[in-house]
Amino acid sequence: MNKYYDRYINYKTQIDERLFNFIEEEHPKSLYEPLKYILSGGGKRIRPMILIFCCEAIGGTIEDSIDAAVAIEILHNFTLVHDDIMDNADTRRGRATIHNKWDLNIAILAGDELIGLAYKSLLMTNSPNIGEIARVFTNGIIEVCEGQSYDKEFESRESVSVSEYLMMIRKKTSKLLETCAAVGAYIGNGSPEQVENLMNYAKNLGLAFQIQDDLLDITADENAFGKKIGGDIVEGKKTYLLLKANEVVTGESEKKLISEIIENTRDRDISAQAIQKIKEIYSDYNVIDSAANEVKNYTLKADSYLDELDNSDAKEMLKWFSKMLLSRNF
Amino acid sequence: MNKYYDRYINYKTQIDERLFNFIEEEHPKSLYEPLKYILSGGGKRIRPMILIFCCEAIGGTIEDSIDAAVAIEILHNFTLVHDDIMDNADTRRGRATIHNKWDLNIAILAGDELIGLAYKSLLMTNSPNIGEIARVFTNGIIEVCEGQSYDKEFESRESVSVSEYLMMIRKKTSKLLETCAAVGAYIGNGSPEQVENLMNYAKNLGLAFQIQDDLLDITADENAFGKKIGGDIVEGKKTYLLLKANEVVTGESEKKLISEIIENTRDRDISAQAIQKIKEIYSDYNVIDSAANEVKNYTLKADSYLDELDNSDAKEMLKWFSKMLLSRNF
């Protein structure tokens, strides 16, 4: 495809290999079978990739950072296993979730163990900054738990403001990307300014990514996106679009429809007509434009932090990777 | 009472104060309310005490080790919150468990966050060995999860050998004490021999403690023990006593009774008569003596590792503390 893509695939292969071979234990089977299952489940390896490129962008190498990169992917998998329990999700990436394939207790324990395994891989990193690296990693875990708690709280709350929503996704989605950048930067012995710039880059990329995910629920091509269009509306998910609409809509019938979705008081069988009506509201009240603008602004902001760094192949990689990510091109 | 007890109370006060004030955050309430609730729940602080005394026994101080001591208590609380979910326990230390007082999702998240908070406190430790300290702490988490998985596996298995049981409690109960000793020893800049001796001390103490817990279910004074005598039998818990009896009993009716308890095929309303009969079997087949012997041997072994260390006040503290612990005197 191109030299960027080739490098991505090369790194992905290395990450996957480490990940698949990370667990050598066999017993207890009730713990290690589900762990092997989840770690072999595939994925784009977005987070480890950002960690490695951030490390490289300031002079480090993939060899220095791959243990930490594997650690962050294991940590990400912990969040998936426990979130799937909380969301009653039966499948993930087309495969049965752990609590569905095994049971609740096994899924709780597998998630717990993944945190331990994540630290195990992280602490294999050979760096004089290991204390600081472990500290930013730990802050990541703490804030991701806070983000997930807010998300669950918001589900049962009647009203959530757009700014509360942004605070929540900053913790739930962006924080882990920010952690990748910080860990990569510390491994690369970055200066305080470099660490700061890379963290800000990742934070803004995360916000752009999440809001775009909300947007794609309405605007995407169903086949390319791989999810059902309007699925968030059917689920009553409090997305950027829905919360923004709730703040700006003025018409009586439109206000009523939006709050019914937010308060989950409608029948779960939301008609295609109602979804169409909501799409029109989003369009009429410039909610879609507003979301698209947010994505654009966060993306520009992310790029501007990268521009502060000296030029390098890895910096170009980060730019290419952000673009691929936001265009959902792989 | 005596100078040992005074010192214990002095240290306990310091640990409790740190623990109660550890969480400064208020929001999200759905996360921090249950966390404050669990961390203010009291307890003997056995694990932080062992960590600090081990550090002191080789020349370190409580100031050096108190952040790590608080970390290990937070980690212990994580195991309680998630284990209580898996055991369907409604109460703990006379108070409602988190999943009972709040709900399952909140209990899962609170437990996850406790792991993060434990590392946060651990990583406040100022030591050149911080990488090694974090590594032994992480190994502790991994093995404790393995131990809990074995415990759950054994619950539904028909036969478990005494040696499998010992392997399980070594992971589930002893490993955290061993971790306390290792962390304390590394903070105190212990030599490899000192680290090894302290870890072996704690491991054997843990085994003695757990088998004695099993023993007390049958031999204790109900008022002093604070639990119902024979409770393990009623629950069909695979204790040292039950598994040992299963290996040595020869009489037909006795074999049948023991395997009914193990296989959980009996009615849950086990009569006082049946409990009495099992107590007699334990006595007739020297199962009680065998358990008491194991406790004695592990205790002697624990002490012998302490004897390898130079004399110090802290070493005397450890000896006193082990004795108090095993006599359930506080």
Average pLDDT over residues A235-248: 94
Full residue range of the structural domain in which residue A99 is found: 3-326
Among candidates A111, A117, A131 on the partner chain, residue whose Cβ is nearest the Cβ of B142:
A117
Average pLDDT over residues A311-318: 96
A10-62 residue pLDDT tens = 999 999 999 999 999 999 999 999 999 999 988 999 999 999 999 999 999 99
Residues 6+ apart with CB under 8 A from B101: B34, B37
Q: What phi, psi does B266 have (nearest 5°)?
A: -80, 160
Among candidates B30, B86, B142 on the partner chain, residue whose Cβ is nearest the Cβ of A153:
B30
Predicted pLDDT of residue A320: 95
Predicted pLDDT of residue B226: 65
Chain B interface test: which of A26, A149, A165 (most B C-beta within 10 Å): A149
Question: Which amino acid, residue A295?
Answer: V
Query: For chain A, which residues lie within 8 Å of any Cβ of chain B, measuring from their own Cβ?
Result: 25, 28-31, 78, 82, 85-86, 104-106, 108-109, 111-113, 115-117, 119-120, 123, 130-131, 134-135, 138-139, 141-142, 145-146, 148-150, 152-153
Predicted pLDDT of residue A274: 87
The CATH number linked to A32 is: 1.10.600.10
Within 8 A of A123 by CB-CB distance, chain B residues are 131, 134-135, 138
B85-94 residue pLDDT tens = 999 999 998 9
Q: Using the 8-state DSSP alphabet, how is residue A188 labeled?
A: T
Return the percentage of chain A with pLDDT > 90, whole number.
84
Average pLDDT over residues A58-81: 98
- Please give the Cα distance from A109 to B82 (Å, whole number): 8
Identify which of A71, A188, A204, A78 has the alpha carbon closest to the alpha carbon of residue A144. A78
Predicted pLDDT of residue A230: 86
Strand-pair partners of B91: B96
Q: From the CB of residue A292, how many other CB atoms can be counted at a distance below 10 Å?
A: 15
Q: How many angstroms separate the CA of residue B41 from the nearest CA in chain A?
A: 21
Strand-pair partners of A95: A92
B213-226 residue pLDDT tens = 999 999 887 666 66
Chain B interface test: which of A35, A108, A148 (most B C-beta within 10 Å): A108
| pTM of structure | 0.96
Q: What is the mean pLDDT of chain B?
A: 94
DSSP string computed for B206-230: HHHHHHHHHHHHHHS-HHHH-S-TT
In total, how many domains does chain A have? 1
DSSP string computed for B93-146: TTEE-HHHHS-HHHHHHHHHHHHHHHHHHHTT---TTHHHHHHHHHHHHHHHHH
- Please give the Cα distance from B286 to B280 (Å, whole number): 10
Among candidates A30, A78, A139 on the partner chain, residue whose Cβ is nearest the Cβ of B152:
A30
Average pLDDT over residues A68-80: 98
- Please give the Cα distance from B307 to B315 (Å, whole number): 9
Do A207 and A169 form a contact (C-beta atoms < 8 A)? Answer: yes
State the pLDDT confidence band at A252, using cuts at 50, 70 and 90. very high
Polymer length of chain A: 330
Identify which of A198, A208, A203, A166 has the alpha carbon closest to the alpha carbon of residue A326. A208
Q: What is the mean pLDDT of chain A?
A: 94
Lowest mean pLDDT, pick from A322-326, B176-180, B296-300? A322-326
Q: How many angstroms separate the CA of residue A100 from the nearest CA in chain B?
A: 16
